[in-house]
Each structure stands twice: as structure tokens, then as C-alpha cells.
Amino acid sequence: MTTGNCGSSRTSILVVVLLVLIAGIAAVLFIRPGAGRKHPTGHKPQVIEIGAILPLSGSLAFMGKMEGDGMKMAVEDINAKGGISDVWLELKFDDSQGKPDVAVTAAQRMLTVDRINIIVASFSGVVLGIKPVVERSGGILIGACMHPDFFKGTNNVFRFYIGVEDESKGFVDYLISLKGQTPEPRIGLLYVEAPNVVEQVEKYIEPDLSRASMSFAVKESYRQTDKEFRDKILKLRSANLTHLLIIGYGFLYPNIFQELKDRKLLGQVQIVGGWGFLYPNVPPEDLEGVTVIGPSYVFGNNPAVEQFYARFRSRYGYEANFDAAMTYAAIQLLATGLETTEKTDVSSLAMQLRSLRDVPTLIGTCSVSKDGTITFPIGIGKFSNGRLSKEAIPSVTR
């Protein structure tokens, strides 16, 4: 919120906000009186409340906790510096359980009962489910979602995650760069049967490879609930692969890698992957040499990132991964929009967010496109001695 003549202009804006709140049309505003907490100066602060609908229970709970703690740390850091022009940020969490129907109920409750109209949510199925609910309310939704169409066709929905189209381009560029090698590359694919991943394979990866006269020698899919991978790995081994592209959830990778090791395939093929390898929970020695396409910040020795991870470990008692850094950066970007908008209605904030360019965040310089996708630097790296190190991005013309 631009404050210019700090005193009078800001006071007049807040008076208008309070009058509108009393009139009962708070759905279009994002500032409200503080609920009991006091500012260090002694007066009750104004607050901007942000809703977070995350998988806090169920199989994805580890992801929801990571994302929630990243958001908490960002809000604490912003408030410690005086908030947004002396207006504090507050978070309210609700559990989606990773289920769209549960998330829809949570979103309706936040929007109508809690009068929260800025919501951050994660997991593709969840954010796609609550998108129309938030749209109808006139609220803002920032979704950690890979789906390429999530943010399209609306003014108030934003995607803050590596998109399937961006990740797919990284995969394809890398695989095309292998052409002409000796021996000729034989590439296999192992992927999770999640709707967004199936679409990623069928709509982006395979067509682009086909245009380069390339294809997968063998494809195997697996369900999110699978624990046993023996038959699938045996089929991959029998195909005499040189490279294996693995797409899926990192929490399933321990079983996959154990089977790769048991079937003598680990170390015999070059493994390539994406976001799932940013939290694989696999022994470092088994990840040695794995090629990863993902956010550039994970491949460098950025002091700010290292400091964030150290503070996170000290604050919460466990190691952060990229989900925590992404949600931290999402709050940073949202704070920039709040700080620079001159009005206190949601539509003005959404318009301001869409105008943001080259905003420095924890994960690098971010920009928001006119259609609502939030972009950040994407790179390629390899695991070496338990850490991801930056590699040269193949130059591919297609």
C-alpha cells in the first residue's frame, strides 16, 4: 500500500475501510481491525489476513507442514520489519487433506465466515477444485499448482509453481541434446498416474520428442498408492536403457530407488527428473549423478537461501525443502503487491499483482504475467556428494 503522505492519506484509507466493514460488504476489502493483538507501540494494529488451505493431514501432510512453516516464517519476518506500511499480516490455516471436496468446504468457510479473501493453497487437485469458489467470491487465489490452465481465464487467480509446460520443456531440451551420442540413447519413462502428470506426458513431452524424431523405448506408470515396483523395474531393465525419466512424488522415490538398486539398474542408466527430486528422501549415494530440472535457486550456493535453511532448521527443528522456500517467496511477492497498491480492495490488489516485474524473492527474481502465472528462473543440475550442483543448460533449437 503506497503511503506517500503517510499520516493523512493512510488514515483516510483506513477510515473508509472501517466504514465499509461496518456496512457489511467486507468481501471486497483486504484490511480489517486487529483481533486483540497489540502493536509494539501499544495500539491495536490493522491486519491483512491470509488464508492457507494446505494438506495438513493424510499422505501429503509432510508437504502441507513444510509449506505452512515457510509461510509462517515469511509473515514473521515481514511483521518484524513493521508489516505492510505498519499493517500486520496474519495467517489462518485450514486442512484440505489433499482432497478437493474438503478444500472446497474450507474455502467457503474462509470466504464467508472468516471474511478472508486472499487464499494460498497447494496441490493441483485442490486448487483446481477451489478456484471457482474463490472466483465467485471476488477473492484472490495463489495456487502452488503445475497445471497449465489453472490461472487462465480469470483476473484474480495466480499460479506460483514450476508449470508442467516449463518443466516439460526442460526435460525435452535435455533429452534432445542427447541425440548423436554413442551409443544412441534409449530413453525410458516411469511416471505417476496423476491427472496433471498424464497430461504433461501426453500433451507436452511426447509430442515435442516426436517432433524431434525421438520417442520413449518403454513407458511404465504407477499409482500414488503403489508400494511395490518390482515388475515395472524389471520391464525397464529389459529395455536396455541408457536414460530413465522419472516423474512423480518424492515420497514414493525411496521404494522406486530401492527396487532400481535391487535389480542392478541403479548406476547403469542416467536418471533424469524434475520437482519430485527436490524432496526425494533417498540416500545421497543413490542420488549421485541424477539430473534434475527445477528452480534455479536449488542449484547454487546462494547465501540468502543457505541462511533461510539454517533459520528454518533452528525455528522448526527439521530441514526445509523447496516447498518451504516457494511459499516463503509467495508471501514475499504478495507483500510487494500489498505494499505498492494504492487501494484496499481485492480487484485493485489483483491488478497490481499482475503488474509486478523483476521482484527479488528468496528463490530469485520473480515476475507476474498478465495471465496470472508467476515466473522464476528454471535451471538444470546434478546430484553430487548429496547436493545439487548447477549444470549447463543444453542449447536446443526446435
Please say if the pLDDT value at position 397 is more than 80: no
Q: Contact at 8 Å (CB) between 119 and 50?
A: yes
Could you tell me which residues are beta bridge partners of residue 118? Answer: 140
Whether 397 is covered by a domain: the verdict is: no
Query: Model confidence at 299, in pLDDT bands (50, 70, 90)?
Result: confident
**Predicted confidence (pLDDT) per residue in 113-149, tens digit:** 999 999 999 988 899 999 999 999 999 999 998 877 7
Q: Contact at 8 Å (CB) between 348 and 342?
A: yes
State the average pLDDT over residues 318-336: 94
Q: Output the pTM of the full model.
A: 0.80
**Do 151 and 176 have their domain in common?**
no
Please say if the pLDDT value at position 1 is more than 90: no
% of the chain with per-residue pLDDT over 70: 87
Whether 396 is covered by a domain: the verdict is: no
The least confident of 27-36, 240-249, 385-394 is 27-36
**Do 321 and 262 have their domain in common?**
no
**Do 128 and 79 have their domain in common?**
yes
**Do 79 and 153 have their domain in common?**
yes
Residue 301: predicted pLDDT:
74
% of the chain with per-residue pLDDT over 90: 63
| CA R_g for the chain | 23
**Predicted confidence (pLDDT) per residue in 59-90, tens digit:** 889 899 999 999 999 999 999 999 998 899 99
Residue 341: predicted pLDDT:
92
Query: Model confidence at 396, in pLDDT bands (50, 70, 90)?
Result: very low
- Mean pLDDT over the full length of the chain: 87
Instruction: Name the strand (E) or helix (H) holding 379.
Output: strand 378-384
**Do 65 and 125 have their domain in common?**
yes
Q: Contact at 8 Å (CB) between 110 and 92?
A: yes
Please say if the pLDDT value at position 196 is more than 90: no
Whether 1 is covered by a domain: the verdict is: no
Please say if the pLDDT value at position 48 is more than 50: yes
More confident residue, 321 or 391: 321
Query: Model confidence at 7, in pLDDT bands (50, 70, 90)?
Result: very low
Residue 29: predicted pLDDT:
66
**Do 98 and 176 have their domain in common?**
no
Taking the alpha carbons at both ends of the chain, their separation in whole angstroms is: 44
Residue 271's CATH number: 3.40.50.2300
The least confident of 71-75, 104-108, 192-196 is 192-196
Residue 14: predicted pLDDT:
44
Tally Cβ neighbours within 10 Å of residue 347: 13
State the average pLDDT over residues 225-236: 95
**Do 201 and 285 have their domain in common?**
yes
Please say if the pLDDT value at position 16 is more than 60: no
Please say if the pLDDT value at position 218 is more than 80: yes
**Do 157 and 171 have their domain in common?**
no
Query: Model confidence at 394, in pLDDT bands (50, 70, 90)?
Result: low
**Do 256 and 384 have their domain in common?**
yes
**Do 78 and 32 have their domain in common?**
yes
Domain interval for residue 274: 165-294+380-390
Query: Model confidence at 355, in pLDDT bands (50, 70, 90)?
Result: very high
Query: Model confidence at 370, in pLDDT bands (50, 70, 90)?
Result: confident
Query: Model confidence at 342, in pLDDT bands (50, 70, 90)?
Result: confident
**Do 267 and 323 have their domain in common?**
no
For the chain, what is the domain count?
2
Please say if the pLDDT value at position 395 is more than 50: no
Write out the DSSP string of 140-199. Answer: EEEEE---TTTTTT-SSEEE-S--HHHHHHHHHHHHHTTTT-SSPP-EEEEEE--HHHHH
User: CA 136, 64, 125, 189: dihedral to nearest 10 degrees?
Assistant: 150
Strands 364-368 vs 359-361: parallel, antiparallel or unpaired: antiparallel
